[in-house]
A and B are shown apart, each in its own frame.
Chain A
């Protein structure tokens, strides 16, 4: 791969997916794109770049973007955000939304489905507390391929053992040979849509909870600031944003601020708080004191 080929790919990936590759990531590009080039009948990356530059290779370009965007995920990743969801966020939302009895949750980079389905299982585990409620989990990802896999709800033995408690496997999955499929009622709780976070997403409506985990880490500062500003408009005034363990809003934006004592969770910051009340957990705590 020549430096010119690498520059072309860096620009393409930045424009299409926001992926911000530093100048020393040639090894990553080679490890992901050489197999794709060979699968497409091309000798290597120079030929792949040539084909894309030649035009009329939109499908191939999409495959390149999908191959380069990281899709690693597993059930209940990092555990703590899901503990917070179960112990703090959902109980507080049950109180705050008691009148309208509906919840909307968005997984903004849902990959092969482990995260939205983990949330769906959390909701299922709430049992009777959510009976009669309308719950909606919207799972979006840049990659149509991972969304298609997610829709099947079929996971390998390796995938179901990374983070998924065995009791939930037995309760919500059906074994199909060497694979495990989520039961239809859990799959039906998740709606899948292809979405590029660089583009307008206001049509999705507003949400009570947004999971946007382990995706912004790949974007440059300017792109992160822009996405945070647009995410803030998508969140209910008392809603909650969950970021990945290595991500934060600190030093990037003031539209969100850390949720008190709940690492990885954020609520709308002072800049956005004019249209907000206290974050749901604090509001619930305040009403309990009264």
Chain B
């Protein structure tokens, strides 16, 4: 089954994302910061990552750089999901290897559209 790693320090956001993504037939793994997310990727590389930017310990941008340097880390489709909604942040994320970008607030239609866009659905 396809897995999606949901990385966000907000348990509410993780819960909302889980509900949406389970509806799209993904098995969900959760992490509350970038460091825990990297550990999860070492255990099992997910199919997709839904990634917040601002988090304690290790933020999403640093996590993405580390992920892309890991063996097999080029495989997961990474979709940022963040309140950082300016062009400069979007450009940085794409440059770092993000596949898509969701600006919070989001809903099921947006997540579905973005996952379709990167070929996950």
Contact = CB atoms under 8 A, between A and B. Distances in A.
Interface range, A side: 10 to 19
A198 interface: no
Interface stretch (B13-21, B63-71, B96-104): B96-104
Given A161-B103, A175-B86, A175-B87, A166 B94 contact: yes
A165 interface: yes
Interface in B73-121: 85-87, 90-91, 94, 100-103, 106-107, 109-110, 113-114, 116-117
17 contacts: A79-B117, A157-B85, A158-B107, A161-B102, A161-B106, A161-B110, A161-B113, A161-B114, A162-B110, A162-B113, A163-B113, A165-B100, A165-B117, A166-B94, A169-B90, A170-B90, A170-B91
Counting chain B CB atoms within 10 Å of each CB, the highest count among A79, A158, A161, A175 belongs to A161
A74 interface: yes
Contacts, number: 33
Interface in A174-189: 175
Nearest to B110: A161
A241 B56 CA distance: 53
A181 to B, nearest CB: 12
B110 A158 contact: yes
Nearest to B86: A175
Contacts of A169: 90
Contacts of A165: 100, 117
Nearest to B102: A161
Interface of B: 85-87, 90-91, 94, 100-103, 106-107, 109-110, 113-114, 116-117
Contacts of B107: 158
The 5 A-B residue pairs whose C-beta atoms are closest, nearest first, are A166-B101, A161-B110, A162-B113, A163-B113, A165-B117
Contacts of A74: 113
A167 interface: yes
A157 B87 CA distance: 12
A79 B120 CA distance: 14
B103 A157 contact: yes
A79 B94 contact: no
Interface in A36-68: none
Among A158, A161, A166, A170, max chain B CB count under 10 A is at: A166
A175 B114 CA distance: 20
B109 A162 contact: yes
Interface in A147-173: 157-158, 161-163, 165-167, 169-170
Given A79-B116, A163-B113, 19 more contacts: A157-B85, A158-B107, A161-B102, A161-B103, A161-B106, A161-B113, A161-B114, A162-B109, A162-B110, A162-B113, A163-B117, A165-B100, A165-B117, A166-B94, A166-B101, A166-B114, A167-B94, A169-B90, A175-B86
